Structure formats: structure tokens, C-alpha cells
Amino acid sequence: MIAATPDNSQARRNVIVLVAAQALLGAQMPMMFIVGGLAGQSLASNACLATLPISLIVLGSMMAATPISAIMQRWGRRAGFLVGSGAGAAGGVVGAYGLFLGSFPIFLMGSFLTGIYMSAHGFYRFAAADTASDEFRPKAISYVMAGGLAAAIIGPQIVKLTSQAYVVPFLGTYLAVIAINVIGSALFFFLDIPTPPKPTKDEPKGRTRLELLKTPRIAVAIICAMVSYALMNLVMTSTPLAVVGCGYTEGDAADIVTGHVLAMFIPSFFTGHLIARFGVEKIVALGLVILGGAGLVALNGVELGNFFVSLILLGIGWNFGFIGATSMLADSHEVHERGRMQGLNDLLVFGGVTLASLASGGLMNCSGGSPIEGWTAVNLAMIPLLTLAGGALLWLMLKPAGARVA
């Protein structure tokens, strides 16, 4: 990490900019998750491929993680974030064109470009930590993630206003995405994060990627981040399909996703304080337990109330699990390892999320004869991943403190 200012004044300014970016530019993510599967269902010849647009977004994010991290390491955070918003605008253009032509392959190309934005978006949380002191760092990460609270309201409401604004369904939503990226990119010119200095020959090179992955604390942080994000994506991707498939409306689906995204980010106002008070491992563990509770509620019925409660628990569990894992990772590497570690982390995390989003459509549409059976299969799929993350976290907590970072 870059050296922190003692009074955190620089860090607080950057947090304000990143919160605004999270609120405005981040609004496109719930928009994509609401309409991506529904638009894919209308364009794809095979219902099992309905969530493929979401999968391509996550695949694009996974493949862009290392290049975006390298751009930020060499030219600074601003350059990487501008590349991301440019790709988001391009994704909106190509996605809108695919919808206009009724072409599923072109629509998928737009989704892939949107994934490049999603990758850059994932680095907001790391940028919040760059100029923050050790004490302020978890709070800075938490506050930036809390900016998603506004995104949770803005995004779904834009979908309601735009999804049927044109003869071609969802075309207006993708046009709105273009405007969001063009306007939102201006925020990054107010960001004040120094470009990392170029390493000299006599400076430490840091650990290799393999050595980093062999560090117990880093390995467990990546596993918990991967599982938290993958399970959130697995269930959320299928939710609009399940809600509409069970006889409810697109508006109901948008309201449920709004509740879910609010639950993802409202806890961020105090997650950092909880981590500072109780320790990061306990907060990650609590997140995994709450994710399990979300699955139990979903398996208990398909009333609107079940969807709302399940998705709210899913959001809270993701918040504790993912922010906790991010904080754990941020404390486990040196400044000269930052670009290598953060790029590797997001490559692995979004690789897992890609597999989850691919599995989501197959489980939802092709694992049973009805939407209810598909929704059941999606939620049962949470069990092995929660077992993996819980076991890894317990293993780390039982190790002596010194051995966790060795």
C-alpha cells in the first residue's frame, strides 16, 4: 500500500470520490443483473443459456483483473478506472446494438466488455485503502462499499423507467448504461492517489504468486472472498428468472434485487467497526453463517416474502464475508506486492464467480421440470462451497498466529 497520511485527510477525500463512483457507476451492476438474464432468455435459442450474458460479464471481469491491476500499478488508479468506465460505455453500446438486431452473439460481446468495467469497479475497495492508516483502512474499505447503497436504489429504478421505454425490450436500459459511464468517469479526475513508485534494482521484489498463495492467511482470504462472491452471484443471477417463473412480475424482481443490493451495502456503515472490534476472522465466519441462512429461507418456499428475506440475508452474508476477506488480504501483503496480489486475487475470485454464474442458468432452467425445482437446485448448490470456506477459515483460526502469515 501507498504510505498513509497521518491525519487521513487524503484518504477521506479519496473515500468521498470513490463513494460517489460506487453510487453512480456502480448502479449499472444491479441493472445488468436484473435485465441480463431476462434479455438473454428472450434472445437465446436454448433456455439453459439464459444467464450466459451474466457469465460473460463475470468472465470479462476475471480476464481483465490482471491487466487492470498492471495498468494501475504502472499508471495509477485513475488510469485503470477510466479504462473501466470506457469499457462499460462500450459494453452498453454493443449490448444495445445486439438487442436492436436481436443478435445473441453481439449481445454477449457487449456483456464481455461490461465485465471489464466490473473488474475496475472491484478495485474501488483496494483504492480506498491505499492512502489510509492501519486504523482507518477497514473503515475506508467499508465506507466505499457503502456507496453501493445508492447504487442499489438508483439501478433498479432506472430499470423500471427504461426496460420497456422502447419497442425493443431492455434497449433503453442499455442506453442508460452508456450515459452512466460517460458522466461517472469525470469523478476520477478528483481522485488523489499517488502512482506507485517504480521499483529500483535494490528494492525487494516481493513474493512470487505461488509464494503468496502458499501463505495461509492469503489463501484463506481468497477462498472466503471467492465463496462469498460466487454464492451471491449464483443465487442473484437466478433470482429474476425464479421470481418471474413463479408468476410474479419484472417489477417484483426489480424490488427484490433492490432489497438484496441494499442489504449488500447498508452493513458497510459498521462492518469496518465490527472488524476492528471483534477481529476479521469472526466477521467472515458470521458472513458464511448468514449465507447459509439465506439458502435455508429460499428452500422453505417461493412466496414473495421468502424471496425478499432470502435475498436480504444473501446480501448481508456477502457483505461480511467479502469485506472481511478483503480486509484480511489487504493486511497480508507488502506495498511492492500490491499489483501482483490484488490482480491475482480478483482473477481467482471472479474465476469462481464465472463458474457460479454459468452454473446458475443450468441449475435454474435445466435441472428440473419447473422454476421451483430449479430454484431449489440453485440453493442446494450452496452447501459444498460453504463447507469449503468454513473449513478453511476454521483451519486458519486454529493455527498459531505466527504461522498464519508464514
Percent of the chain with pLDDT over 90: 41
Q: Please check whether residue 208 is in contact with residue 333, taking contact to mean a CB–CB distance below 8 angstroms.
A: no
Q: Please check whether residue 138 is in contact with residue 327, taking contact to mean a CB–CB distance below 8 angstroms.
A: yes
d(CA 208, CA 202): 17
**How is the chain split into domains, by residue range?**
9-195+206-404
Burial readout 190-229 (b: 16 or more C-beta within 10 A, e: otherwise): ebebeebeeeeeeeeebbeeeebeebbbbbbbbbbbbbbb
Q: Please check whether residue 231 is in contact with residue 121, taking contact to mean a CB–CB distance below 8 angstroms.
A: no
**Res 170 pLDDT > 60:** yes
Mean pLDDT of 227-245: 90
Supply the DSSP symbol for 399.
S
Q: Please check whether residue 296 is in contact with residue 304, taking contact to mean a CB–CB distance below 8 angstroms.
A: no
> What pLDDT does residue 132 have?
78
Assigned fold of 9-195+206-404: Growth Hormone; Chain: A; (1.20.1250)
Q: How confident is the model at residue 149 (pLDDT cuts 50, 70, 90)?
A: confident
pTM: 0.74
Q: What is the pLDDT of residues 220-231, one digit of tens each?
A: 999 999 999 999
d(CA 335, CA 25): 27
Q: What is the pLDDT of residues 181-220, one digit of tens each?
A: 999 999 999 988 887 777 666 666 667 777 788 888 889 9
**Res 3 pLDDT > 80:** no
Query: If we measure between CA atoms, which residue out of 271, 304, 35 comes closest to residue 143?
Result: 271
